[in-house]
Amino acid sequence: MPRTSGGAGDGTAAVSSGEDGVLLSIGAVLSRLRDEFPEVTISKIRFLEAEGLVEPQRTPSGYRKFGAADVERLAYVLRVQRDHYLPLRVIREHLDALDRGEPVALPRSGETREALEGSLEPEEPARMRIGRDELLAATGADPGTLAEWESYGLVEIDADGGYDADTVSIARLIVDLGRFGLEPRHLRAVKAAADREAGLVEQVVAPLRRHRNPQTRMHAEVTARELAMLSVRLHAAMVQSALRIRLG
């Protein structure tokens, strides 16, 4: 576990986590972290656990119990996200290095924007644009089918007349679902649900995007991505649960 006991200026200031050997509930951890990170939530802690950045102990009943090192680890993750905008994959590499006793170099303040932009690249689809013919070739659809997708709002063309990587992925999934007899008209409810979920994420990050502090505005990108991932997981879990009930 990294020992986050340096000064605040280097991104490794310590957070009080109780005496060594004392295990804390997730609620107790939240109250300790909120002194420095007022926007942290239990969902955020669970998300970081799901991403493998912290591994609390579990009681026989399944309750999480965090040690002092776990709280320090969480504080380190939250701090470098807030101050340096590092992607989770880089933070994970930092934690692994710290666990091995190796030094870790954090980006300087002037490198903050570059670090954020770098964090978006590996985790978002490539920002490519393709034309109509290329989309048809990539999906095997015909022009009439593509027009039907567009009429239902499932696929949208950009202002520059192209399609981005997300749209290509959506189109391919529509084709795959079509093999099971699901037509575009059946997928309107999926599109509507996605729009509602996107609206919820927008409501959460809107205050961050309007903040005076430019670093806080930049942090909105990371927050939106994490919320989107949690939303997708929740949706998948709910669909699976509903199917278990319906199919017995």
pLDDT digits (tens, 9 = 90+) for 60-80: 888 899 999 999 999 999 888
First-to-last CA distance in the chain? Answer: 44
| Domain over 129-247 is classified CATH 1.10.3470 | no
Q: What value does the mean pLDDT take over residues 78-95? A: 83
User: Who's near 155: CB < 8 A, 6+ residues apart?
Assistant: 146, 149, 163, 167, 170, 171, 174
Residue among 13, 94, 81 at smallest CA distance from 45: 81
Tens-digit pLDDT profile for residues 143-202? 999 999 999 999 998 877 889 888 988 999 999 999 999 999 999 999 999 999 989 888
What pLDDT is attached to residue 192? 92
What pLDDT is attached to residue 120? 39
What pLDDT is attached to residue 118? 44
Using DSSP's 3-state secondary structure scheme, residue 125 falls into: coil
User: Who's near 147: CB < 8 A, 6+ residues apart?
Assistant: none
What pLDDT is attached to residue 210? 79
Q: Which two tokens stand for residue 56?
A: 């609390």
What pLDDT is attached to residue 112? 45
Q: Which two tokens stand for residue 4?
A: 């986050």
Q: Which two tokens stand for residue 30?
A: 């939240």
Q: Pick the more confident residue, 67 or 208.
A: 67
Beta carbons within 10 angstroms of residue 149's beta carbon: 21
- Give the model's confidence band at 125: pLDDT under 50 very low, under 70 low, under 90 confident, else very high: very low
Q: What value does the mean pLDDT take over residues 95-113? A: 72
Strand ranges (E), the chain: 57-58, 64-65, 129-130, 163-164
What pLDDT is attached to residue 33? 93
Is the pLDDT score of 119 beyond 60?
A: no
Domains 8-123 and 129-247 share a fold: yes
Report how far residue 163's alpha carbon sits from residue 155's, in angstroms, rounded to the nearest whole number.
Answer: 9
Using DSSP's 3-state secondary structure scheme, residue 208 falls into: helix
Report how far residue 185's alpha carbon sits from residue 232's, in angstroms, rounded to the nearest whole number.
Answer: 22
**Which of the listed CATH numbers 3.20.20.70, 1.10.1660.10, 3.40.640.10, 2.40.50.100 matches domain 8-123?**
1.10.1660.10
Between the alpha carbon of residue 140 and those of residues 53, 136, 144, 155, 239, the distances in Å are: 41, 6, 12, 15, 28
Beta bridge pairs of residue 24? 66
Residue ranges of alpha helices (H) inside 105-213 are: 112-123, 132-139, 143-151, 165-178, 188-209
Is the pLDDT score of 3 beyond 90?
A: no
What pLDDT is attached to residue 20? 55
Report how far residue 167's alpha carbon sits from residue 175's, in angstroms, rounded to the nearest whole number.
Answer: 12
User: Who's near 196: CB < 8 A, 6+ residues apart?
Assistant: none
Report how far residue 174's alpha carbon sits from residue 177's, in angstroms, rounded to the nearest whole number.
Answer: 5
Tens-digit pLDDT profile for residues 6-65? 433 344 444 444 455 789 999 999 999 998 888 888 888 988 888 888 999 998 888 899
What pLDDT is attached to residue 128? 63
What pLDDT is attached to residue 248? 77
For the chain, the domains span: 8-123, 129-247
Using DSSP's 3-state secondary structure scheme, residue 154 falls into: coil
